[in-house]
Structure 1
Amino acid sequence: MFSKPVLSRLLAPASLALAAVLAPVAAAHAANEPGQISITVRGSGAPVLMIPGLSSSAQVWDETCAALQPQVQCQIAQLPGFAGAAAGPRQEQQYLAAMRDQLQAVLKAQAPKRVTVMGHSLGGTLALMLAAQPDAAQIERLIIVDSLPFLPGVQNPNATVESVRPQMAAMRDAMSKGKPQAAQLKPMMASMSNSPARVDQLVQWGLDSDPASVAQAMYELWTTDLRPLLPKIKVPTLVFGAWAAYAPMGSSQDIVTRLYQSQYAGLEGVQLKISTAGYHFLMWDDPALVQQSTREFMGLAPRPAQ
C-alpha cells in the first residue's frame, strides 16, 4: 500500500521532584538510572502520563504539557536508552514488556486515582499494552499519537509476526553494531516533522541514543501485533493519525484514514482524528489539533486567554 519512504516515517522514532503521590516509586525511576524510566512531574491537575516514542527525549511533550496547564498534571516519561538516557543491560531482550511493567508500577502507585495515558509512536504502543493488561484499572482513557497496532500491516495486509521476524532480526543485528551518522538519520527524520529545526533536534536525539536499545525496541515494534488485544481495552480512546507526509507519495487522505480504521477495528468506540497538516510528530506539526482535541476528550475547560 505504501512505499519504503512512507514506511521509514513510521519507524519513529528533566527533572522536577516527584509529587508525593509518586513517592513510592521515585527511587525505582530515578533519572539516569540504567534501564529505568525517569518521570518528570509538572502541574497539579488531572494526571496525564506522557510517553515519548523511539529515540525521543521527554522534551517532545514540553509544548503539549504547557498548553494543557493549569488543568493537567503532566507525568512525562523518559525511556532508557533514548536521547542520552542511560540504557539497560545488554542481555535484556524484552524492551517493550520491561517498559510496560515499569510504567504500570507508576500507575499503580497512584491508586485509586485514575490516569490518562498519552503515547506517541512507540509510546502509543506502550499505552495500548498497558490498557490491555488485566489489571488496568488505573487507566481512565488513552490518547494515541500516530501509532499503529501492527506496523507490517502498512506494507502488506497479509503480513504476520512470523513472516517478518527474519527480516526484522537482521535489521536489529545490523543496527546494533554501531552508532548511525547524522547523514544517515537526516533523510528519515525529514519525513517525520515539517519543521527543519525539529528535524535537527530529532537527528541529535538519534545520535545520542543507544544503538542496541533502539535496535531492540524497533525489532519488537515490528514483531508485535496488538490487534488481538484491542478488544480487551475498555477505556475511551482517541487516536491521532497523520496524512500530510503521505500526500507527496500519492496516498489520499481517504486511504490513510481507512488504514487507521482497519488497524483499530477491534477497539470499540475509538475516536480517530486525521491531521492534514502534520507529519509523524503531530504534537509539534499540528499542535492546535492535538491540544484542542485532547482538551475536549478529557472534558477540560477551554484554555484561559493569555
Structure 2
Amino acid sequence: MRFKEEHHETSTDRRGRRRIPFRFPAGRTARPGGHRFKAEVSGAGPAVILIPGLASSGEVWQGTAKHLCGPRQCHVLTLAGFAGQPAIEGVLLPQVERQLADYIAAHKLGKPVVIGHSLGGFVAMRFAATHPDLVDKLVIVDSLPAMGAIQVPGVTAEQLKQMADMTREQMLAADDASFSANQRRTVMTMASKPEDVDRIVGWGRRSDRKAVAGAMAELIADDLRDDVARIKAPTLVLGTWIAYKDYAPRAATEQVYRAQYAKLPGVQVEIADTARHFIMYDDPAWMYDRIDRFLK
C-alpha cells in the first residue's frame, strides 16, 4: 500500500523560528492497513482536511487551499480509484473512513476541520457521525445525507438498494463512447465555465470506472438522515439550486436540504444563488466568505 504526501511549506512560527516540514520519503510504504488515498499537505497550523467528490482530483480544492492555508495546514485528498489514483478492492467509503481515522492519529492532527464536496461531503458527514470526537468543525459543500431520497423522502432501504444496483449496472454496461458522453452531459450541469467542465471530465476519464460506479452506488444506497444526529461538530452546509431552476424553485430546494439535515443539531444551511454544483469554481468568493465566517 502506497500513498503520497507532498508539503509546500517554508514558514516561520510566531517567534520567527523556521518550521521544518515533516516529509515522507518518496514511495515509502505505509504500515499494513495504511492509507490508499493521496494527501497533499501545505501550510502550518491547525489541520484542515479537504475531500473531493466522485471521480474528482484534490486539485478541485486548489483555490480553496490557497485561500485557507498559511495560518492552517491543509491536507488535500484524492481518493483511491479517482483521477489516476490506483483503485482498491471492496467497498470504498467504509475503507476511506477507517483510513482517515488512522491518518489523523498517525499525523497527530488532533481534531481537524473537515471539508467535503459532493461524495467527499458525504464521506465527511459519515466520518463525523461515526467518529464524533475526531472532528472540530464540518463543512459540507453541496451534498445530502440521502441522495436517493431527494424525490421520495419516504423511500425504503430496499428501494434505495435497488436504485443503487441499477445505477451501478448501467454505468458498468455502457460502452466507452456512451459513458464518456453521459459523463460530459452530467458535468455540464454541474459547472458553468467550459474550461472547468473540461478539467472535471478529464479527471473522470482518468478514474477507474468500476470504482466510480461502486462509489456512486454506495452514495445512492446509504441514508444518513438519522445518523447525522450523532455529529458533535458545528456544521455548515453549502447548497446550490440554480441548475435545477426549471423544475425546482429555490425555496423547494432549500427545504430539501433543511429536511434532510433536520436531525443535525445547530446545522447552518446556506444556498448559493449563482453557483452550480462545483461552487468552488462557479462562485469561490461566496464559498470562501461563508467558510471564513464559519471557521472564525
> What's the TM-score once normalised by structure 1's chain length?
0.84
RMSD: 2.5
Gap regions ≥5 residues in structure 2? 9-20
> Following superposition of structure 1 onto structure 2, how do residues 70-149 of structure 1 map, counting pairs within 5 Å?
70-89=70-89, 92=90, 94-111=91-108, 113-133=110-130, 135-149=131-145
Q: CA distance change for structure 1 residues 131 and 81 in 2, over 3 Å: closer, same or farther?
A: same
SS at match of 1:147: coil
Partners of 2:94 and 2:161 lie apart in 1 by 18
- In structure 2, the partner of 1:166 is 162
CA distance in 2, matches of 1:152, 1:167: 8
Q: Which of 262, 285, 292 is the aligned partner of 1:288?
A: 285
2:272 matches 1:272: no
- 8 Å contact kept, 1:179–1:211: no
Post-superposition shift, 1:165?
Answer: 1.5
Identify which of 24, 28, 31 aligns with 2:30.
Answer: 28
Matched position secondary structure for 1:16: strand
Amino-acid identity (%): 35
Q: Which residues of structure 1 form unaligned runs of 5+? A: 1-13, 300-306
SS of 2:88's equivalent in the other structure is: coil
**Separation in 2 of the partners of 1:196 and 1:98?**
34
Distance in 1, matches of 2:5 and 2:23, equals: 16
Report the count of equivalent residues.
Answer: 277
Q: Distance in 2 between matches of 1:296 and 1:27?
A: 39
When residues 105 and 21 of structure 1 are mapped into structure 2, their CA distance, relative to the original with a 3 A threshold, is farther
- Report deviation, 1:46: 2.2
| Aligned-pair CA distance for 1:70 | 2.1
- The structural deviation recorded for 1:157 is 1.6
Partner of 1:235: 233
Structure 1 residues 251 and 173: CA distance shift in structure 2, 3 A = closer
Bigger shift: 57-66 or 100-109? 100-109
Once the two structures are superposed, residues 21-65 of structure 1 have per-residue CA deviations (whole angstroms, 9 ceiling, x without a partner) of: 999xx7439xxxx98111110111321000000000010000111
In structure 1, how many angstroms separate the alpha carbons of the residues matched to 2:23 and 2:86? 25
SS of 1:114 mapped into structure 2: coil
Conserved? CA contact 1:277–1:286, under 8 Å: yes
| Matching of residue 258 in structure 1 with residue 255 in structure 2 | yes
Change (3 A) 1:21 1:260: farther
